[in-house]
Structure 1
Amino acid sequence: MTVQTRRQFLAASAGLVIGVALPIRARAQSGAAAALGDGTLAEGSFAPNAFVRVAPDNTITVFCKHIEFGQGPYTGLATLVAEEMDADWSQMRVEAAPADDELYKNLAFGIQGTGGSTAMANSWMQMRQAGAAARAMLVAAAAERWGSDAATLTVSAGTVSDGSNSATFGELAEAAAAQDVPVEPAVKNPSEFTLIGTDRPKVDSRSKSDGTAMFTMDVYRDGMETVVVRRPRVIGATVASFDDAAALEVPGVTAVRQIPQGVAVYATSTAAALKGREALSVEWDYTDAETRSSEEIFAAFSEAARSPGLEAEKVGDSAGAIAAAETVHEAEFLFPFLAHAPLEPLDAVLELKDGKAEIWMGAQFPGADKGAVTQVLGLEPADVTMNVMLAGGSFGRRAQPTAHIGVEIASIAKAAGRDGAWKLVWTREDDLTGAYYRPITVHRMRGGIAADGSIVGWEDRVVNQSIMAGTPFDQGGADPTSFEGSTNMPYALPNLTVDWVKQELPVAPLWWRSVGHTHTAYATEVFLDELLEKAGKDPVQGRLDLLKDEAGRDRAVLERVAEMAGWDGTKVRGDRAYGVALHESFQSYVAQIVEISDAGGLPRVHKVWCAIDCGIAVNPNVIRAQIEGGIGYGLGTALYNELTLGEGGEVQQLNFDTYRMLRINEMPEVEVAIIDSDADPTGVGEPGTPPIAPAVANAWRALTGSSPRRLPFARAGV
C-alpha cells in the first residue's frame, strides 16, 4: 500500500482503542496465565484495555493485533507496552489477538491486518497509550491502598513504591481493575526511554527454538482428516470432469469431493491424501485460463509500453527536453512473475460442530478469512472463532484480499456435508503453481542529458496488472502500488513523466515483499546510474547533487553508507566492483553499497553496506535482522527467481530445485547502520529489499560494461 493510500485510510480511521475490556477468547502462544479456557479473566487479573492483561502471578500479556511470521511485532509491540508501564522485560508475554476488525484494526488500513510495513508505525502511539493507561491504574490502586499521593509514587521493573511500601503489578492487579481507565494517558518523552532503542531478545525465539511454538501444522483435533486439493497447472483452468475410483482405493482416503478450487481428497493422514491426489484422473476446462506463455505475455506488455497510459506524475515537458538533449538514452526493463515461497506453505484447520466453527491459521487479514468462512458455511459471525497462529513467513502471500484460504477450508468443510475437523495442507508445488504472484512488469524508459552533463528529461512508462483492482483497497483509477517508487523520487529532475498502462490477465496478482518498489527501485536506480555514467559523474556524488532536500533523510543515508564503505569514487578495484542504490519505501530511507566479483558469469556479492532511517529504532536488533533478511531475499530473487508459464500456460517451476533460493554460502556480509532519529517509527520489513538488486546491477555494469535488462540475472545470461 502506498504512503498516500495508507494516509487516506489513517485519516478515515477511528481513534485509539483504549478502555475496551476483552470479552473475547484468544489462544495463548506463550503460556500466559491471565486467560482461562472459557475466555474469562483469572481471579485477580486486570484487563485495562483490549491490549494488556496483568495477572496475579505478575505476568503481563500483550495482545498483538499483527500476525507474527518472523518480522518481530510480538517483540516490538510488547516493548512499547513494557516501556510505558515501566515493566520488567521478564514479565512480558504475547498472544495473538483474535479476529476483530473493529477492536484490532490496523489504523493504516481500517481493518485488522498486517502488511505494508505498517505494524510498528500504526501501533506506535496506540500500544504506548495502552501501556500508559495500565500503569496509571496500577499507580492509582497503590496510592489508594497506602493513602499516598499518586504523583509521588515511583515505578520500576514492575514494582510500585512510595518509599516505605512497595507492591508488584500482580499484587495490585485486582485493585487496579476497579480504577477509572484514563482516556488520554500521558506517555513518556523519548529522553525517558529505557527499553525502546535497546536490543531486546525476541519473545518468541525460545519457543521456536525448543519446538513448543504452535504453528497451524501443529494443530490436531479429534477425528481430524487431512485434505489436499488437486489444482490445475494452467492458471484459471477449472474442473471439467474427474474420476476418483483409483484415489478411493488408496488406503486411508475417505472421500473425494469437487470444490470451487479443484478436487479435494480427504484422508486419515497426509501421506494417504497425497497418494490419493496423485491417483486422481482430472480433465480440465481451459476456457477462462491463461494459456499464453511468459514470453507471449512479455511481448504483449512490451507492445503496450509503446502507447501512453494513465498519467502518474508529470513535471515540465519531458518529451521536448529529451528531443532537445545532447544525448538520449533508452532502456526497457522486464520483470517476471515471482512467487513468495515462504518457508511454511499455506495451511488451515477448521472444526465444525453443532453449528459453530473454529479455525486455526496464519491469517494476515484474520477478519477477512473469518468472514469468508462465515459466508461459505452460512453461519453467524458470533458462531465462528478465528485463532491466529504463528506462521513461517509470508512476504505478502498470506495477505489475500480474496481470503482464498478461508474460502477453501470452508468449502472443504461444506463439501464434507457433516460435522468434523479438517486440516488443509498446501505442498510446495501447490504454493508455486497456485498463482497469486508478483505481476509481470515492463518499464520503458527514456532520458535526456544536456551538453553540460545535467539530466534534462526523464520518462518512465510502467506496464503491469493492478494488485488493488477488485479489492477493498481499490480506489478506482490508477493503482499506486503498480508504480510506487517511480513517482515522487527524491531527485530534482526538471522534466519528468511517469505513466501506467494497466493490463488484464487471468493470473491473480498479489503484493510481494515491497510491492511496486520491488521493480521500480531497480528500473529507476539502474537507469539513473547509467545516465550519470554517460554524463561522466560519480554515482554517489551524482545522486547527492540531484537530491532535492539539502538536509533530507535521503541525503543522510546516502552520505552515511558512502562513509561506511569508504567510497572514494573508485568503482573497480582489481577483481572487485562496487555499486550503489538509494530508495525510499514505506516511509523509510535506505541506501546500499555492494562489493561484488564475477563468479563464472554471475555476480558474487561479498559485502553489503546499508544505512537506514526508519525513525525511532524500537529494537535495533530486529531492525538489523529485517534488513539482513530483506537483502538476502532480494538478492536471491534478483539472481535466480522467476515463475514462468510455458507452452499452453503451464507453470514451469514446481519446487526449490527449479525456483532456487539463495544458499547460505552465497549470503554476503551485511553491515547495517541505523540513523539516529526522533521521527515516529516507520517500516522495516520491506525497505531493505528494493535497493539490493539495482546496487548489484550497477556494480556488475562497472565490472563488465552491461547491466541486466531482464531479471533474474541468471536468465539474462550476464
Structure 2
Amino acid sequence: MSQRREFLKIIAGSGGGLLMSVALPLLASTNEIVEEDPAAGTFAPDAFIRIAPSGHITFVMPRVEMGQGTYTSISMLIAEELEVSLDDVRLEHAPADDVLYRDPVIGSQITGASASIRGAWLPMRKAGATCRTLLVTAAAKVWKVDASTCKATNGLVMHPPSGRRMTYGELSGIAAKLPLPTDVALKDPRDFRLIGTPVKRLDSRDKVEGRAVFGIDVVLPDMGIATVAASPVVGGKLRGVDDRRALEIKGVRQIVRIDDAVAVVADDMWAARRGLSALKLDWDAGTNAGFSNATLIASMEQAARGDGVVAQNIGDVSAALRSGGNAIKARYELPFLAHATMEPMNCTVHVTRDSCDVWTGTQVPARAQETAAAVTGLPKDKVRVHVLYLGGGFGRRLEVDYVTQAVRFARQVQGPVKFIWTREEDIQHDILRTYYLNQLDAVMDGQGMPLAWTHKITGAAVMARYLPSTFKHGVDPDGVIGAINLLYAIPNVRVNYVRLETPMPIGKWRGVGPTHNVFVVESFIDELANSARKDPYEYRRALLAKQPRAKAVLERAAQKAGWHQPLKPSRAGLRVGRGISVQFAFASYVAEVAEVEVDEKGEVRVRRVVCAVDCGHVVNPDTIRAQIESGVIFGCSAVLWGKISFSHGRVEQSNFNDYRVMRINEAPAIEVNIVSSVEAPGGVGEAATAALFPAVANAVAAATGKRIRKLPMEAALLKA
C-alpha cells in the first residue's frame, strides 16, 4: 500500500458554521488507497463533495452500500442540484465520523431503519446546491458579471449573453476561496432531470465483473486468515484448549484465545478450518446451559399475566369490552430469527503499538471505530475503519460484536489477519430478532366493526440495549411500533407492553418491530372480518376512510391483483387463496396481496405477490422496485420457514439445511406498483418484508380455513 497523506479541507458544520477538518484518504470500491493532492485548488465546500482542478468530481457517501442502491440514489440527489452527470462522478465510502456523517433521522452514523433517503433528501440536495452556487459565483467573479446571468449545466458554468463558459475544475480554485452561502435555492421538482427517473445502479458493473471489494475480499501483504469458534452457549467461557494436533497441520500459524472464543490463524481458510476442527475445546457453559424455547415460553406466559405498561390508550376500552358485543380473542407467537446474510461476518484487523486498522462491511462505522479504540486502548483518531461493500446487512451489521472479537484476537497477532466466521458460526452466534408473544381481544358492534381493541405484547426490549435513550417509561419503541397509532378507525384501543429479557442476544432484523406487529394486527383484522362475514379487503377499506394514502395503496394492490376474480390452482389437489395487508411503516404506505397454493402435505408455495407503495417523492423507481422485491423474498423465507430454536442453551440450527431461505426456483412472481406522491420520501428497504408476513398468512387461511397464529408455518397443521 502507498503512503497515506493528509489534507485540510473546509466543511460545512451541522449548525451551518465552518469547521476545519483533517480528512483521511478513503478506501475506494476497488480496495486501493486514493491519494488526494494537497495542493491548493481542491474544492471541498462540505463533507460530501470534492472537485479537483483536473475536473474530477468525488462524492463521499455518508451511508453504506449493502445492496439497497443507496449509493446511486444519494448520488442522484447531489448530482441533480450540482448539475453534473453521474457518468462524471466517482464515489468513496465515508470514513467513521459520527458528526459529519450522522443520519439526521437516526442521529448517528448508521445505515438502517430505511432512513437513508429520508435523511438525505434535503441535506444532500443542499450540499449539491451549495457547491453549484459557489461555482456560479466564482464564474461571475471571473467574468465580472451578475451571478444571476450565469447558469450551471453538465459540469460547466455558462454565461449565455456572451457565450463564455468554464468547467467546474477550472473554477474550483476560485470557488474554494469564497465564503459559504448562508442560504441556497433548491431546484423546483418540476425541473428535475435525474430525480424520479430510472437510473442504473452505479455499483452494478463492478459487482458483476468482480471488481467490487467486500469485507471478505480484503487482501493485504503477509495477511493471515483465521476462523473462530465462540462458546456455543451465550455467557460460556473457554476452560481449556488442546491445540497439539491443530499446530501440526500445514499452513496453521497460530492459535489465539480470548475468554469466550478461540481462533486459528493460518495461511488460508482451508488450513484454518482444518486447524479449528482439530482443536479439542473444553467449554464452561455457564448459567445459560438450561435455556430452551420451552423455558422461554413458560417465562413469557408467566410474564404476560401481568399488565406491563400502557403504551397507548384511546377512549374507554374497559367500558367497550363490557358492552356485550361479539368478542374475539387470539394469541400470536413469533420466533427468534437469524439474519443469514450471504456474506458471513468477517473483519480484517492490523494492530500495532500506536495504530489500529479495521477493514470490514459495517452499517455503523463510528461504532466500529469506538469498539476498536476501547479494546486497544488507542485514541479514536488512531483507529481507521475502512468501510467496504456489505454482502447483506438486514440489521446484523448494525452490531459490532464481530469487530470487537476480531480486534481482541488481533492484538495477539503480528501483522494483519482476516477473521471469517463459518456459516455455522454465523447462524449460531447471531444477534437475533427477538421472540414475541401477543394477546389480543376485540369487541365488535352490531355491524361487525371493531368497537374495542386490546393488544398485549410480551418480549425483550431491543432499543433498551441498542439505544437506551429511546427506552422511556418502560416502553420499547421497537416493540410497539406498528401496534400503536393504528391506521384503522377504532374508537377504543389499548396497547400494553410487558418487558421480558432473555439471555440470548437480540437486535435489529430487517423490518424490525413492524415485522412482528404488522403481522399480528393485519392477521387479527382478517379474523374480525371473517367473524363479521365480510370481505377482508372491503372491511379494511371501511376502516380507512380517514387515511387516504393508506386507502389508495390498498385499492391499487387489490385492483392490480384482481382481488374479486376467482383463483385457479396450477394443478388438481392444490388449495388456493389470496390474502391482503396494509401498513404505514418507515414513513411509507404499503399494501400487498399474496396468492398461495397449499398441497396435500401442507406445503405452502407463494406463487404471486402484488405490491402497491406510496413512499412519497420517488428518487429512483428502479431502486424502489428492487427493494420491494427483495423485501418480499426475505419475508417469504421468514414466514414460511424462519425459526431459531434453543436447547440446552445452544442454537439448534446450523446452516441453510435447517435454517431455510427461499431459492430462485421458489420465488413468486412479484409486481410492484408505485403510487405517485409529492410528499417527502419515505423508506422502502424494510417495508415490504413487514407487509408480506400477514399477506401470506391471510392467504393460507383463505386457502385452508386454518388461521396461522404461530410462525413459521407448520406443514403438519395445513395438511388437507
Q: TM-score, normalised by structure 2?
A: 0.93
**Which of 398, 402, 405 is matched with 2:402 structurally?**
405
1:524 pairs, out of 515, 521, 524, with 521
For 1:188, give the aligned amino acid.
K
Q: Residue in 2 aligned with 1:161?
A: 158
Residue 255 of structure 2 corresponds to residue 256 of structure 1: yes
Equivalent runs, 1:71-220 vs 2, <5 Å: 71-163=68-160, 164-220=163-219
Assess, with a 3 A threshold, how the Cα gap between structure 1 residues 481 and 571 changes in structure 2: closer, same or farther.
farther
Paired residue for 2:428?
Answer: 433
Amino acid at match of 2:188: N
Count of aligned positions: 696
8 A contact 2:375–2:407 mirrored in 1: yes
Distance in structure 2 (CA, Å) of the matches to 1:557 and 1:320: 34
Q: How far apart in 2 are the matches of 1:412 and 1:40? A: 36
Contact in 2 for aligned 1:42/1:55 (Cα 8 Å): no
Superposition deviation, residue 335 in structure 1: 0.8
The answer to whether residue 453 in structure 2 is matched with residue 452 in structure 1 is no
- Aligned-pair CA distance for 1:143: 1.6
Q: Secondary structure at the match of 1:516?
A: helix
* Cα-to-partner distance string for 1:500-546 (whole Å, 9 max, x where unaligned): 11112110101100111111111110111110111111211211111
User: How far does residue 211 in structure 1 lie from its aligned partner after superposition?
Assistant: 0.8
Counterpart for residue 539 of structure 1 = 536
Alignment of 1:588-627 (within 5 A): 588-600=588-600, 601-627=602-628
Rounded to whole Å, the distance in 2 between the matches of 1:331 and 1:479 is 22
Deviations 1:136-175 (CA, angstroms, capped at 9, x unpaired): 1111222222223211112222222112112222232223
Q: Is the Cα–Cα contact under 8 Å of residues 19 and 48 in structure 1 kept in the other structure? A: no
After superposition, give the CA deviation of every residue in 1:210-229 in whole Å (9 maximum; x if it has no partner): 11111112212222111222
Q: Rate the CA distance shift 1:442–1:491 in 2: closer, same or farther, 3 A.
A: same
Distance 1:442 1:36, change over 3 A: closer
Return structure 1 stretches of 4+ with deviation > 4 angstroms.
Answer: 16-22, 30-33, 39-44, 570-575
The alpha-carbon distance between structure 1 residues 254 and 715, as it changes in their structure 2 partners (threshold 3 A), is: farther
Cα distance, 1:630 vs structure 2 = 0.3
Following superposition, the deviation at residue 36 of structure 1 comes to 5.0
Report if the CA contact (8 A) 2:339-2:430 is conserved. no
- Give the 5 Å matches for 1:227-242: 227-242=226-241
* Matched residue, 2:411: 414
Separation in 1 of the partners of 2:541 and 2:666?
A: 31
Q: What code does the residue aligned with 2:154 have?
A: A
**Is 1:581 matched up with 2:581?**
yes
Q: Distance in 2 between matches of 1:437 and 1:662?
A: 19
User: Which structure 2 segments of 5+ residues have no match?
Assistant: 1-12, 570-574
CA contact (8 A) 1:363 1:398 kept: yes
Correspondence 1:700 to 2:697: no
2:552 paired residue number: 556
Q: Which stretch of the first structure deviates more once superposed, 234-243 or 357-366?
A: 234-243
Amino acid at match of 1:421: P
Deviation at 1:317, TM superposition (A): 3.2
* Residues 632-677 of structure 1: per-residue CA shift (max 9 Å, x gap): 100111011111113x122111111111111112211111111211
Q: Which residue of 2 aligns with 1:225?
A: 224
Q: Is the 8 A contact 1:84 1:129 kept in 2?
A: yes
In structure 2, relative to structure 1, the CA distance for the partners of 1:32 and 1:270 (3 Å cut) is closer
Conserved in 2, the CA contact under 8 Å of 1:129 and 1:184?
Answer: no
- Distance across 2 between alignment mates of 1:715 and 1:576: 15
Which residue number in structure 1 is paired with residue 710 of structure 2? 710
String of CA shifts for 1:577-618, please: whole Å, max 9, x gaps: 211101111111101112222234233222211111111111
Q: 1:510 aligns with which of 491, 507, 512?
A: 507
Instruction: Find the counterpart in structure 2 of residue 671 from structure 1.
Output: 671
The range that moved more, 519-528 or 108-117, is 108-117
| Structure 2 contact 235–287 (Cα < 8 Å) conserved | yes
Counterpart Cα distance in 2 of 1:682 and 1:75: 17
Using a 3 Å threshold, how does the CA distance of structure 1 residues 290 and 69 change in structure 2: closer, same or farther? farther
Alignment of structure 1 residues 289-308 onto 2, 5 Å = 289=288, 291-308=290-307
Q: CA deviation at 1:18?
A: 7.4
Q: Equivalents in 2 of 1:716, 1:446: separation in Å? A: 27
Mean Cα displacement is larger for which, 668-677 or 445-454? 445-454
Q: Which residue does the alignment assign to 1:6?
A: none
Cα distance in 2 between the residues matched to 1:210 and 1:272: 28
Q: CA deviation at 1:406?
A: 2.4
Measure the CA separation in 2 of the matches of 1:243 and 1:31.
41
1:352-394 CA-to-partner distances (Å, cap 9, x unmatched) read: 2351111111121111111111111111222111111111011
Show the counterpart of 1:491: 488
Deviates more, 1:436-445 or 1:463-472: 463-472
Q: Is the 2:28–2:34 Cα contact (8 Å) retained in structure 1?
A: no
Q: Is the 8 A contact 2:320 2:451 kept in 1?
A: yes
1 CA distance for matches of 2:248 and 2:168? 61
Give 1:565's aligned residue: 561
Q: Would you say the 8 A contact 1:141–1:176 is kept in 2?
A: yes
Aligned to 1:634: 635
Separation in 2 of the partners of 1:89 and 1:79?
A: 7
- Superposed CA deviations along residues 376-424 of structure 1, whole A, max 9, x for unmatched, are 1111222111111111011000001xx32221121012233xx411111
| Residues 1:21 and 1:707: Cα distance change in structure 2 (over 3 Å) | farther
The amino acid of 1:122's aligned partner reads: G
**In 2: Cα distance, 1:20 partner to 1:40 partner:** 20
- Sort the Cα spacing of 1:46 and 1:98 in 2 relative to 1 into closer, same or farther, 3 A: same
SS state at 1:562 partner: helix
What secondary structure is seen at the aligned counterpart in 1 of 2:239?
strand
- Offset at residue 57 of structure 1 (A): 4.1
Identity %: 36
Query: What is the letter of the counterpart of residue 617 of structure 2?
Result: I
CA RMSD of aligned residues (A): 2.1
CA distance in structure 1 between the aligned counterparts of 2:584 and 2:17, rounded to whole angstroms: 33
> Is the contact between residue 44 and residue 50 of structure 2 (CA under 8 Å) also seen in structure 1?
yes
How far 1:19 moved relative to its partner?
Answer: 5.4
Q: Within 2, Cα distance between the matches of 1:532 and 1:598?
A: 22
One-letter code aligned to 1:452 = Q
Give the match for residue 4 of structure 2. none
Q: Which segments of 5 or more consecutive residues in structure 1 lack a partner in the other structure? A: 1-13
**Inter-partner Cα distance in structure 1 for 2:179 and 2:133:** 9
Q: Assess, with a 3 A threshold, how the Cα gap between structure 1 residues 254 and 509 changes in structure 2: closer, same or farther.
A: same
Of 485-494 and 315-324, the range deviating more from structure 2: 315-324
SS of alignment partner, residue 579 of structure 1: strand
Give the secondary-structure state (helix, strand or coil) at the position aligned to 2:288.
coil
CA contact (8 A) 1:325 1:456 kept: no
8 Å Cα contact 2:30-2:213 kept in structure 1:
no
Deviates most, 386-395 or 221-230: 221-230
The 1-side partners of 2:511 and 2:56 are apart by 36
Q: Distance in 2 between matches of 1:378 and 1:466?
A: 30
